[in-house]
Amino acid sequence: MKKGNVMQQYEAAKERYEEYGVDTDAALRAMDEVEISMHCWQGDDVTGFELSEQGMSGGILATGNYPGRARNAEELRADYGKAFSLVPGKQRANLHAFYLETNGKHVDRDAVEVKYFENWMQWAQELGIKLDFNTSMFSHPKSEAGYTIASYDDGIREFWIEHGRRCRDIAEEMGKRQGSPCVLNHWMVDGSKDSPVDRYDRRALFVKSMDEIRARNISKDYVLDAIESKLFGIGLESFTAGSGELALGYAITRDIMLTCDLGHFHPTESVADKVSSVLQFIDKMLLHTSRPVRWDSDHVVLQNDETMALMQEVVRADALRRVYIALDFFDASINRIAAWVIGTRATQKALLSALLEPQKMLLEAEREGDTTYRLALVEEMKNMPANAVWDYYCEKSGVPVGMDWFGEVKQYEKDVLLGRD
């Protein structure tokens, strides 16, 4: 799209929104303050860089064989950089612990250290972005029985507790160096395929182990711990130790963040509806935007009803400084860089649309009991020229407008990805 057309359409959209008391410039300033944490595991199909033949397990499954998967950290960082260059704003990179670099040395999960992430931290500094981190308690011989920190086996449990401790040490160093708290997400595979008799003691072990992982006090200036629940996983359909109730209770009583993933609840549950409830009791929360299709299948995020509703609730709660947003999906059937760009831009578009809501008019109508006008106004907003505002945001951020980014991805595929074995 020509530059003049983008500006012209933005000015027209700005006037339209002003009729409803919406300041589009203020919405774009708010967008600049939001950093979305782009997940590393989209770039290599959740393989990681451990020197191990262990396959994916714990309900993790990437399907497809599109050419160009990143085979090492250097390739992943190059692909990451390309994706970052095609989305507006300044985003973050979200790492899992098994994306360490060891120079050919086998390092098990209970021995991960800061030094194995030095290249990642240097890269982030050069790119001017921040890092977030995750424990990797799945796809490992010591998780094959279905349990990690809720295992009856003292040795297995201590192995994963030590892994969690070391991940907190790594996250702390990241937070110190980048001058911004590193969000550390804790998700465990723990559960069983069939219904167990002992649920209580399993969950007691889970809580005790989490307390041991977090025994060392670390300033929230450096690390923001978050605990993520899940309804079920492949092979873990009947019982999950880290259920929604357990994670919520733990987050409230330990003063840490709760992670809500769009695919980790029953299909009839609305994650959007949880935002206003959780924030009554917890200072901050982490959202994983994904797209479940009948189950936690982690499809690429779209600007669909679920994503729109989630961002609307965050904005309506005036919680942009209390809610952290990360992506969590992986699709090996399509261009992996395109998947990053589509998912990030879809999340951003949903957020921008929420920021362009005429909140004052909607609230006034609701509080006066005029639900008819409220409904009419909500419906009218669906066809407002939000895309013209989005195009302007992309242009002023120096990234491709509209579908122009796709040509760059296909050229990168031709020049780089297709040359990989």
User: Would residue 228 show up in a list of annotated catalytic residues for this protein?
Assistant: yes
Contacts of 285 (CB under 8 A, 6+ apart): 226, 257, 258, 259, 260, 275, 278, 279, 322, 323, 324
Contacts of 234 (CB under 8 A, 6+ apart): 59, 61
CB 41 within 8 A of CB 330: yes
Q: Please pick, among 39, 96, 230, 349, the residue that the annotation labels catalytic.
A: 230
Q: Please pick, among 298, 357, 391, 395, the residue that the annotation labels catalytic.
A: 298
SS3 of 179, please? coil
Cα 22 to Cα 3: distance, rounded to the nearest angstrom: 24
SS3 of 314, please? helix
DSSP symbol at 233 = B
Strand locations in 243-322 (E): 257-261, 285-289
Cα 334 to Cα 343: distance, rounded to the nearest angstrom: 13
Q: Please pick, among 130, 140, 186, 264, the residue that the annotation labels catalytic.
A: 264
Q: Please pick, among 288, 390, 391, 405, the residue that the annotation labels catalytic.
A: 288
User: Would residue 296 show up in a list of annotated catalytic residues for this protein?
Assistant: yes
Q: Please pick, among 296, 306, 331, 413, the residue that the annotation labels catalytic.
A: 296
Q: Please pick, among 190, 225, 328, 413, the residue that the annotation labels catalytic.
A: 328
Q: Please pick, among 261, 357, 395, 413, the residue that the annotation labels catalytic.
A: 261
DSSP symbol at 181 = P
User: Would residue 187 show up in a list of annotated catalytic residues for this protein?
Assistant: yes
SS3 of 260, please? strand
User: Would residue 283 show up in a list of annotated catalytic residues for this protein?
Assistant: no
User: Would residue 230 show up in a list of annotated catalytic residues for this protein?
Assistant: yes
Q: Please pick, among 45, 132, 172, 228, the residue that the annotation labels catalytic.
A: 228
The tokens for 313 are 């609730």
Exposed, middle or buried by CB within 10 Å (0-12, 13-18, 19+), for 267?
exposed
User: Would residue 298 show up in a list of annotated catalytic residues for this protein?
Assistant: yes
Q: Please pick, among 41, 120, 123, 187, the residue that the annotation labels catalytic.
A: 187
Cα 321 to Cα 187: distance, rounded to the nearest angstrom: 23
* Residue appearing with tokens 């300044």: 90
User: Would residue 421 show up in a list of annotated catalytic residues for this protein?
Assistant: no
Residues taking part in catalysis:
187, 228, 230, 261, 264, 288, 296, 298, 328
